[in-house]
Amino acid sequence: MTTMTEKTKVEIIIDDVAYQVNADSNLLQECLSLGLDLPYFCWHPCMGSVGACRQCAVKQYRNEEDQDGLLTMACMTPVQPGARISIADPQAVDFRAGVIESLMISHPHDCPVCEEGGECHLQDMTLMSGHNYRRYDKKKVTHRNQYLGPFINHEMNRCITCYRCVRFYSEYAGGVDLAAQAAHHHTYFGRHEEGALESEFSGNLVEVCPTGVFTDKIFSERYSRKWDLQTAPSICTGCGVGCNTAPGERYGELRRIVNRYHSELNGYFICDRGRFGTGYVNHAERLQQPQDAEGKTLDAETAAARLREIAGKAIAIGSPRAGNEANHALRKLVGEANFHGGFSAAEQACMDEIVAFAGDPAFHNPSIREIEQADAVLVLGEDVTNTAPRIALALRQSVRNRAYELADSARIPHWQDAAVREIAQHERSPLYLFATGATRLDDVAEASVIDTPSGLARQAFALAHRIHADAPAASGDGGGNAAQLDQIAEQLAAAKRPLIVAGAGNGQVELIRAAGNIARALHKRRGNGERKPLDLCLLTGEVNSMGLHLLIRPENSLEAALEKLASGEAENLIVLENDLYRRAPHARVDAALNTARTTVALDLLPNRTTAKADLVLPVTAFSEQQATYVNYEGRAQLAWQVHRNHSAARPAWQWTGEFAHFREALHDCAVSAPAMARLVEVLPDTSHLPGGGKLPRQPERYSGRTAMKANLNVHEPKQAQDPDSALAFSMEGVPARRDATLLASPWAPQWNSNQSISKFQDEINGPLRQGHGGALLLERGAGGGFHPVPEADEATGIELTPARQIFGSEELSARSEAIRKRMSDAYVAISPGIAAGHGLTHGAAVSVRGEDASITVLACVRGSMPSGVAALHASDREIDFHGLGARVSLAPAAGDAAVALDRGLGELIVSDLAQGS
């Protein structure tokens, strides 16, 4: 359904006009591609047709002479060459009006108190179909609502039973706790009992539901209508994927995040961290004024002067969560030799390897759309659902390629969703997981290989050798099951488009090297005729991990910086948006910060590093500044400023004083870092705007202009100017009707909901009409060779690995109120064997002792974990993870220690919690 191969076009006639349309499609999709207004509910561009709602009826005629025609559902009718249909036929119009009237008979007359109102597909379609007054005089069916957790509101009375919610939630996203219940006009969409929706993608229900059954609870608490939100195109900063989002602001607060369509990346969906994890922007503790060590407020000019003053003898540590311009400005301020990456040692090693592979012509780093096309996938050690959730959703779609193959053989078109699922039954394309325990992708995986991280790496090296003999062999199959490895090797080698996924998430560089070996072996095994680059998806940890790595010299690690400071080689330290205590052993950070004469920290929220700094400079959050970020593919994308920050906070590049304008910072970054040369391509072409005009950030019907600030002063202030971009902080200017790349919130006449995106697409599921935003930065250079198998580690003790959680692992989102409601406390996941051996029970406090540190967390006993590994999740606790070293020992902690860890483990969604524990 989403494949973008060459499409054959045929001619059909709609209301006596001839059009060229795709031959392998259905009439509804093609009518929408052509920009025609045909109402629909159950069809979704990403989920195909099921013909449930009957709203898209059209008249189809046999030939030119046929005057009667017959009514047919456009979404269920394949395109046939020469087909003649009519949307405007009175009988079809009348039928559609009848359908909407019956869908509306129990609708609860509560649009004014519905969060969907004003961007409601049901409102749009009701108007489009011409239904005004309710004639039905019998009683309305009513339903009780459920509590569905902190993210989603449930108002079942509004339901029109289109089934989109369950089709997305369970069929597309693999959720198990939302289903259709009861029958006929009693049909109910909910959970078996009240409770938080478990899926990491539950927030998409808000956008998938054509009416207000599922609405955004966080947004509802500080609600505004769509037309009142100041919006600009942005990028999600939750992980390294770089999904496109549209944040909305009102009265100076960031109110909500919705998905922004990108044909190659996120498409129509984002994850819950991205949607609900930006509350930190409105945090009460946001840094507002420059402060010195005593907490005394400084004025901005003095503070900026002081930063420049100490910069001469300073080294700077960059940030993977800050944009390229901020990192580059700091690099320029202190000089390239003194600019260090802000990665932990393990992540730095992983990033070195990831960037090296990104330049290898044997490999291709696939976009999400390409990941969905893989027909055999191997995930190596990365807990994708928790480190890059949107990729996990794409992997879930990739296993359906087997279903599409079967459908092709039975000549079933891909958009015939129910039929494709029927023929496929439980047949799936192979997905293999190498993991340290059960993951959230297990239900679609062919098999999982469970081992300690080092064990997984050895098995992966052994697998590479099985695929191609040139790859170095691991002794004794790396301790793996030979038959299973053979099976995996065979499946990968037989696939047309195999995909290997690994990442920096668990800090195991050997797993990334092993992933490289497997991909290289597969590439070598292919015949010379089809030596296409092999899909190797290496995930980066944070929004700009890739960008930061491209800006630092290889030897300039965080470790090196701390060394230079502790040894006195460098005098002063500038830390950009980085809590060093999350990146390095606390003792080493303390030593460095204590020796540094002056430490300047630029950040947006107070943390352990800003607490120790001699000068703290407040910076703007992602929605308050313009910045470019580079995602895991090496795709640079521009996030526009959405709203203004009214405190003294400013973008970090402004604090350095190196550049007067954003464009200068961006251009200089592109010029001075060779890998960033293409960065300038992210800037849109605004030459077509009439009279050098600007594009409005506010919709045309933005309300309250002359009243919202009238309580402060009845004389309205001048509109804020934005010298740095083509967008204006007002509703004046030419709306980006045609240039969808500059359009945050799609709208078309009669289409107020997000479904209006079809008016901006080339064709359904295709790129936006002006192309998609972003520029792929990385050039493929010289090829590399196989990596040697690492020596088996003889050390004793329990191997320590990080456990990632979608809610809690990312630093800033973990400070958002909404996310905190779904966060578990810090825990260490261990096997039942280890737990029994150490006298630990699930939920009890455990003391974890390592090389230079000892910490107390909760024990999480997981049945599927191998013995010999402890997976530590720090949550938002101040835990010296890096001080623990590679091996740890465990012991029960004092009984009252668990009380301090009061968030517990109740929010943890894992399938393998040991029974009875």
Partner 1 sequence: MFSLIRDTLLSQAVTLWRVFRKLFVKADTVQYPDEQPYMFPRWRGRIILSRDPDGEERCVACNLCAVACPVDCIALQKTETEDGRWYPEFFRINFSRCIMCGFCEEACPTNAIQLTPDFEMAEYVRQDMVWEKEDLLIDGTGKYHDYNFYRVAGKQVAGKDKGEALNEAEPVDVRSLLP
What residues line the site for partner 1 (CB under 8 A)? 108-113, 117-118, 137-145, 155, 157-158, 181-182, 184, 186, 188, 190, 220-225, 227-228, 251, 701-708, 710-711, 713-715
Q: Which two tokens stand for residue 119?
A: 């961007």
Pairing of strands 291-292, 615-618: antiparallel
Helix (H, G, I), strand (E, B) or coil at 624: helix
Q: How far is the CB of 152 from partner 1 (least distance, A)?
A: 15
Q: How far is the CB of 155 from partner 1 (least distance, A)?
A: 7
CA distance 664 to 657: 12
The values of phi and psi at residue 44, to 5°, are: -135, 140
Q: In terms of CB distance, is 646 or 701 closer to partner 1?
A: 701
Q: How far is the CB of 114 from partner 1 (least distance, A)?
A: 8
Q: How far is the CB of 759 from partner 1 (least distance, A)?
A: 22
Q: How far is the CB of 138 from partner 1 (least distance, A)?
A: 8
The values of phi and psi at residue 84, to 5°, are: -115, 120
Q: How far is the CB of 702 from partner 1 (least distance, A)?
A: 8
What is the number of other CB atoms lying within 10 angstroms of the CB of residue 660?
A: 11
Q: In terms of CB distance, is 753 or 847 closer to partner 1?
A: 753
Q: How far is the CB of 234 from partner 1 (least distance, A)?
A: 23
Q: How far is the CB of 111 from partner 1 (least distance, A)?
A: 7
In sequence order, the β-bridge partners of residue 776 are 635
Q: In terms of CB distance, is 61 or 227 closer to partner 1?
A: 227
CA distance 737 to 735: 5
Give yes or no for a contact between 181 and 161, defined as CB atoms under 8 angstroms apart: no
Which region holds residue 800: left if phi is over 0, alpha if psi is between -120 and 50, else beta? beta
What is the number of other CB atoms lying within 10 angstroms of the CB of residue 835?
A: 23
Q: Where are the alpha helices (DSSP H) in 36-89?
A: none
Q: In terms of CB distance, is 250 or 635 closer to partner 1?
A: 250
Place of tokens 């203004």: 644
CA distance 704 to 728: 17
Q: How far is the CB of 713 from partner 1 (least distance, A)?
A: 7
Give yes or no for a contact between 846 and 860, defined as CB atoms under 8 angstroms apart: no
Q: In terms of CB distance, is 228 or 542 closer to partner 1?
A: 228
What is the number of other CB atoms lying within 10 angstroms of the CB of residue 916?
A: 8
Taking each helix axis from N to C terminus, what angle separates 345-358 and 509-525, rounded to the nearest 10 degrees? Answer: 20
Q: In terms of CB distance, is 225 or 524 closer to partner 1?
A: 225
Q: Which two tokens stand for residue 118?
A: 């004003």
Q: In terms of CB distance, is 59 or 226 closer to partner 1?
A: 226
Q: In terms of CB distance, is 9 or 701 closer to partner 1?
A: 701
Q: How far is the CB of 180 from partner 1 (least distance, A)?
A: 10
Give yes or no for a contact between 642 and 249, defined as CB atoms under 8 angstroms apart: yes
Q: In terms of CB distance, is 136 or 299 closer to partner 1?
A: 136
- Reported residue count of the chain is 917
Helix (H, G, I), strand (E, B) or coil at 254: strand
CA distance 468 to 362: 15
Q: How far is the CB of 375 from partner 1 (least distance, A)?
A: 40
Q: In terms of CB distance, is 730 or 917 closer to partner 1?
A: 730
Q: How far is the CB of 167 from partner 1 (least distance, A)?
A: 19
The sign of the torsion formed by the CA atoms of 207, 210, 214, 217 equals positive
In sequence order, the β-bridge partners of residue 266 are none
Give yes or no for a contact between 819 and 217, defined as CB atoms under 8 angstroms apart: no
Q: In terms of CB distance, is 139 or 296 closer to partner 1?
A: 139
Q: How far is the CB of 248 from partner 1 (least distance, A)?
A: 14
Q: In terms of CB distance, is 250 or 468 closer to partner 1?
A: 250
Q: In terms of CB distance, is 159 or 197 closer to partner 1?
A: 159
Give yes or no for a contact between 542 and 239, defined as CB atoms under 8 angstroms apart: yes
Q: In terms of CB distance, is 701 or 738 closer to partner 1?
A: 701
Q: In terms of CB distance, is 250 or 650 closer to partner 1?
A: 250
Q: In terms of CB distance, is 715 or 718 closer to partner 1?
A: 715
Closest CA to 843 of 831, 833, 857: 857
Q: How far is the CB of 146 from partner 1 (least distance, A)?
A: 10
Element holding 483 (H helix, E strand) = helix 482-494
CA distance 645 to 252: 8
CA distance 767 to 403: 25
Q: How far is the CB of 107 from partner 1 (least distance, A)?
A: 8
Place of tokens 């599927």: 864
Half-sphere exposure of 174 (CA within 13 A, CB side): 20
Q: In terms of CB distance, is 101 or 382 closer to partner 1?
A: 101
Place of tokens 């280890």: 834
Q: How far is the CB of 137 from partner 1 (least distance, A)?
A: 8
Give yes or no for a contact between 314 and 334, defined as CB atoms under 8 angstroms apart: yes
Closest CA to 623 of 204, 323, 239: 323
Element holding 219 (H helix, E strand) = helix 217-221
Indicate the DSSP class of residue 758.
G
The sign of the torsion formed by the CA atoms of 105, 109, 113, 118 equals positive
Which region holds residue 130: left if phi is over 0, alpha if psi is between -120 and 50, else beta? left
The values of phi and psi at residue 871, to 5°, are: -100, 115
Q: How far is the CB of 731 from partner 1 (least distance, A)?
A: 9
